[in-house]
Structure formats: structure tokens, C-alpha cells
Chains A and B, each alone.
Chain A
Amino acid sequence: MTQNRTLRLTVMSTVVTGALILAGCSSDSEQTIAESAPEKLEGTVSLWHFFSGREAEVVQSVIDDFEAANPDVTVEVNSGQDDDKLQKVISSGGNIDVGLSYSTAIVGKFCSTGAFVDLNPYIERDDVDMDDVLERTLDYTSYDGVQCTLPALTDTGALMYNKTIFDAAGITEPPKTLTELHDIGMELTTFNADGSIKQLGFNPLVGFYENSPSHFAAMTGASFLDEDGNPDFATDPAWSEVIEWQKAFVDEIGYDKLQRFTAGLGQEFSADNAFNVGKVVMNMDGEYRTAFLADQVPDLDYGVAPLPVVDDTPDLYGAGWLGGNVAGIAKGSDNKELAWALLKFMTTDTDAVVKMANGLKNIPTLHSALESPNLEVSDEYRVFLEAAQHEHSVTMPATADGAAYAESFADFWTTYQTGESADLEEGLTELDAQIADAFELAGQ
């Protein structure tokens, strides 16, 4: 009897304690949009982003401008937040007002589920000029008609080449086609006495630095998904073409040699990046590399040219890939109007966008910013600016399965280049089927 009473008391106490713990874990808030924007902004708004060090200072300078324009507003900046962590806090309804993520892969899920609120009502109410936003960037910032994020600068790609080595070899023009890329790449590749690679003209390995499938897509115009949203890797012949070109390139040099050479190269974002030190002569890379080079090897004589393209498609020349930072208002935000004001300033104010682009050396996502006289444009940087505006530049479509389909494809291609699987067509067909199953599982 006594034991039963103790048990009952323990159960009651446990329930109360557990309820307190769970109560501490839960929070939610709903806020409807006002008919008009508030005349005066006041209060505190939080911004979470992943930048750190010098780049965080650039973001802070824009925040300072926002606070100067709105003296009664305080922005609590949480910089250097790991992007994974940022996404988890937002998805769990944490009290973040504005979240700035570099991952476009989250857009499909965040838009379709409301983790980032739909910005369309705010955009329409405040009559934001969406024609000023680069049209292609809207592809990866919205999903199924829901514009839950806005682009906050974007990345694009081009071919960077070492002019000193080009001059020494008597090469006057960078390659414009895949055939030229192969030929010049092989010409500039040198070997040590033991047969190992000494210098590589171009590293064809998928997985090396920026050699991702989506970046190769810009060279071929290949599509990831068809019009119905189904995987297109087996059905779009452009993929087979570029994969076979790349595989033949790898085989010619030798996979093991390439792998050994690549493993000995410096980390991509370190000062001993292979392009910095001249071990790789030509690299696919993003516009941000210009800032790294200016900082790490200011004396390096390099040039930037559009990505080489498949031989018979000159209209693709000049295109790059597009994908960059996205910013949205988290569903857990307690002050969505203030969050929207900050988000709108950071993504649609021309001066703010130009300031961030100059500081971060990323591509502005507004036409007005691209045309601004205040945008600092070097000859090298101009190639990237043009690539970002090219009609054939590629973006990775948002899906409910995030970027899993692209990761599966990258995994397939990485394995294929080793020579383990022989039949490309069969492999791609199987891959499409697997991705279709994964889409179904994700509710695509």
C-alpha cells in the first residue's frame, strides 16, 4: 500500500516535471500581415548568418546603415553560425527573425512547409520591384509559387587561367570549347621522371574543388529535371556527352595519377590552393576567388574567361552556374514586420547590395546594382558579372528533396570516373529511377 502511494506520487511528480521540461521546449507564434507597412520601425530584430571574420564585417557595415536609417531599431547579429545549425534552429521554430543561408537546397522544403514565411504578401503590399531582381535567381529562391526567400548576392563561375604559364607555353587564348580545354590542358600537363604529375593543365576529376556536376552542366546546357520535375540525367543526352568527355580525359592521364596528385594539393580555401601555387593551370571557379587571390597571391598574373562549352553549342559560351545566399523570415519570428524591413533592405536596396557585393566580391542580384557606378568591377570580375546575366546560365531547381538528387548524381559520377561501372546509359537510367523514388518519398 505504502509502495503504491509512493509510486503514485512519483508518477505525479514525474508528469509535472516532464510537462515543465516539454513546456520549455515548445514555442510558436502566428502573425498576420498588416494592410500597410508600419510608418515607423522600432524594436529589436535578429539576423543569423554564417559569415565570419572579414566577411562578417562587410555584413555588419550594411546592418550599420540599416540602423542609421532606423534609429529606433536594434539588429542583433549572430554571425559565424554554422549553416546546418542555422537551418535546424529555423526549422524547429527558434526565435530567429531573419536567416541568411548559403544553401539553396533548403528552399524547396522551407517554402513548401512554411519554415520560411511566404514573402509574396509583403512584396505585393510594398510594391517591391521584382523586375529589378535577376530573373534566374528567382528560380532557386522560390518553390511551387511560394517566394519564401530572396537572393542576397549570388555566385557564378568561369574559367581562371594562369597567364604566366600560358605565355611560357605560347598559348594566347583561353579554351572556348571542351576539345580546346582538353588539348590545352594536356599540353600544359607535365610529368616527373617517375611518371607522376608535376603540373596539371586542367584537373578533370569530378569532386576536385569546384568540379561539381552542376558546374559541368553550365558547359553543356544539361538539365537536371524535365518539365514535369522528373530526373533528367538519362534522358538528356548532354549529360552522357559531358560525362564521356570527362571520363576519357581522366583515363588519358590515369585515374590513379590524378588521384595521387590531387590528394597532395592544398585545401580549396587555403593559401596553398593549387591554382595559387601554379600546380593547376586552369580551374573552374567562382567570382569569390578574385578576392582570395588578391588577398593571398596579389602578384599572380591570371586571367578569367567564360567556361568552355560543348563544341557545337557556341550560344552557351559565356554562361555560368548560379546559386548563392538566400535570406528569409523564419516562421518563429516574433516581429515579422521588422524582419521584413531588414530583409527588404539587405536584398532589394541597391546601395546595400552594391556595398555587400563590393565587400564580399559576390555577384549582385539586382539589375540596378549591376549597373551601379559604385560597383567595383575589374576586368576579371566583369566576366563573372556577364556570366550571371547570361540567358543559358544554369541553376539547380529546388525540390522537396533538397539537393539529395544532385548528391546522388555526384556520387554516381564520382564512382563512374574510377572505372568501376562500365555501362553509362544503364547506370544513369538506374540513377533516375532511384531519384524518382526518393522524390516520391519526399512528397515531391
Chain B
Amino acid sequence: MTSVIDRLGSPAATGLPGPPASPRIPRKRRRRIAAAAMVAPTVAGLLVFYAYPLVASIYYSFTSYDLFSPPRWVGLTNYEFLFTSDPRIGNAALNTLWFVVVLVPIKIVVALAIAGLLARRTRGSGFWRTVFYLPSLVPPVAGVVAFVFLFNPGSGPVNVVLGFFGIEGPLWFSDPALSKPSLVLLGIWMMGDLMVIMLAGLLDVPRELYEAASLDGANGWQQVRFVTLPTIQPILGFSVVTGVIAALQYFTEAAVASSVASGQASVGSGTASTLGYPGDSLLTYTQWLYARGFSNYQLGYASAMAVVLFVTASILLVVAMRRISAFQPEEVS
């Protein structure tokens, strides 16, 4: 790199008169200063917007802090309340875990399956790729609102169609038992971005590997198990990691679905009155964290929740990565 800069940047290389050399600041030091100045904004950004909030959250989690008054050290009180007294955190945590365990795998499997179908270069494949990708361009709020109306138990077209076949449609977003599965349907509909990544990965699998496997007598499933999955293992790993993180932070879709399904959606009114509707079934951990921190101004407690979430996410990701590594092909000596 140095040689390139020297060649292109030196006055001799460009033929232009260079700045007068400072007798006091050697050239190498000037370069170091320039490098430090250029790196500084990025490092400062990382420290101020990543490292500081992380450390501050840990500190605030041991305090009573409401944004207005200076934080007051309370030791483990926030954690004690979190694990023993908070009336809604149990539901919030279980709902979030449900999305991690159910939504993430289903989205990945469906995205992989559809990508597998679309990877075949057949006539019209471009059209179908567009069709499956388009929903992911819909803003999440608009998508949720549309879905809640489509699945409206009383007047939604889904139940109307089911009614034609003599089936009494369920309550969907208004039934605590079905509200989360309804959001899974929404997640599947909007999995276009994941599907595109899977498609790219599948198209990148060398055809020779399939031919070799076929010659060795591998059937279709065996080709998937021993060729496709190991080859796209990094993509699967990426999908699981980003999916788990997204599920742990699941907020917008659940909050909007609660608001619209409760019949009390209005601009600017916040989500406090519709939080978790129906019956806390859509109350996620991050919604409760937000409500505690910014509606009830308990930033200390919200920080404790954030720390617990951080630790949980780290553990889940380690477990997920280990599971995925099971697909790693064995080293060939």
C-alpha cells in the first residue's frame, strides 16, 4: 500500500509541485497523523455509539434511572424484580422465545425450499423470482396492516373464502393461540430477502459436485444433505444468526398487529393501551423493554432487561452456530 501511495502520490510521480517539506514534522509522522485523523471518526463512532452504550447499559442496570434525575445505585434490585416480580416479563420472554424457535427455522426452511425451486433455470423463473421477492419490499407496517385486514375474522377475505367451503375461519390475530402463527404467515410472505440470499448460495454450488454425487449413487435427499447443505453452510449460518437476532428484537410487526387488531389504531397514541393484544400473546421482550424504559421512564430496569437480552442472545447464537457447524464437511487430508 505504501509503495502505491508513494508511486501515485509523490510529486515525482504526478509531476506536480508538492507542498514545501516541513523541516519540523518529518514525512513519516505527517503520514501517521493523517492516518490517525482519518481513522479517528470511525473509532470515535464505535466508542461513542457502540462501546459506550454497551458499558453504560451494564452500569445503568444496577441503578434507578429515569432520564431526569442522576442514576442512583440500587445493586441487584432491577434484576431481582425482573426475575421475581415483573408481572408481564414471563409472557414477553416466552413469546419472544417462540418467535426464535418457530419463526426463524420456518422462514429459513421455506426460503430455502422456494430458492431451490427457483434455482432451476426454467422458462419464467425470472418472473417467479420477482413475485416471491416483491413482498419483502413492502414496508413492515403496511404489510402487517394489510395482513390483519386480510385475516379479519368478521370481514376479511381469507375467512370469506374459507366460508365458501363451509369452514368457519379462525380468529387469527384476535385469538391468543393464533396471533403468533398469523405473524409467521406474514413472515413467510415477506421472506424475499432471505430467499434471494439462499438463491445466490444455491446457484453458487458447483454442478460437478452433484454430478459426482450422482455417479456415486446419491439420491436427491442425499445430494441435498451431503452436497447442498455443506456448501451453503456459511449462508445458513448467516441466516440463523441474523434471524435469531431479528427474532429477539421482534417489535414492529407485533406492535402494529396488536394495535390494528384491537381496533384502537390511531396516529400518535403510542402502543401502551394495545400492548400485547390479544391477551399478551404478542407482547415481545423488546416491546416490554421499550414500555418500561420509555413509557414508564425506568431506564435502569430497562437496561437490566437489555443486559439479560444481550446475554441470552449470545448464548443462543453460540448454540446455533455449534448446531450449524454439524453441516460442515469433514476435512479431506
Contact = CB atoms under 8 A, between A and B. Distances in A.
B67 A82 contact: no
Contacts of B156: 264
Contacts of B77: 441
B174 A114 contact: no
Nearest to A443: B64
Contact of B280 (A52, A266, A415, A442): A415
Interface string B48-78: 1000000000000000101111000000011
Interface centre among B32, B78, B87, B279 (most CB of A within 10 A): B87
Contacts of A103: 270
Given A109-B297, A402-B296, A411-B276, A14 B174 contact: no
Task: Classify chain A's interface size.
Answer: 35 or more
B267 interface: yes
B66 to A, nearest CB: 6
B264 A21 contact: no
Nearest to B283: A411
Given A262-B263, A437-B85, A9 B68 contact: no
Contacts of B48: 18, 21-22
A17 B40 contact: yes
Interface stretch (A83-91, A131-139, A150-158, A387-395): A83-91
A7 to B, nearest CB: 8
Interface stretch (B15-23, B109-117, B147-155, B213-221): B147-155
A170 B322 CA distance: 72
A441 B81 contact: yes
Interface residues of B, number: 65
Contact of B33 (A9, A87, A114, A264): A9
Contacts of A401: 296, 298
Interface string B272-310: 110111111000000000011011111001000000000
Interface of B: 28-29, 32-33, 35-37, 39-41, 43-45, 47-48, 64, 66-69, 77-78, 81, 85-88, 152-156, 171-176, 260-270, 272-273, 275-280, 291-292, 294-298, 301
Interface of A, helix, strand, loop or mixed by DSSP? helix
B268 A91 contact: no
B35 A6 contact: yes
A99 B29 CA distance: 53
Interface string A428-442: 000100100110011
B152 A105 contact: no
Nearest to B47: A18
Contacts of B264: 209, 267-268
Contacts of B43: 10, 14
A207 interface: yes
Interface stretch (A253-261, A351-359, A362-370): A253-261
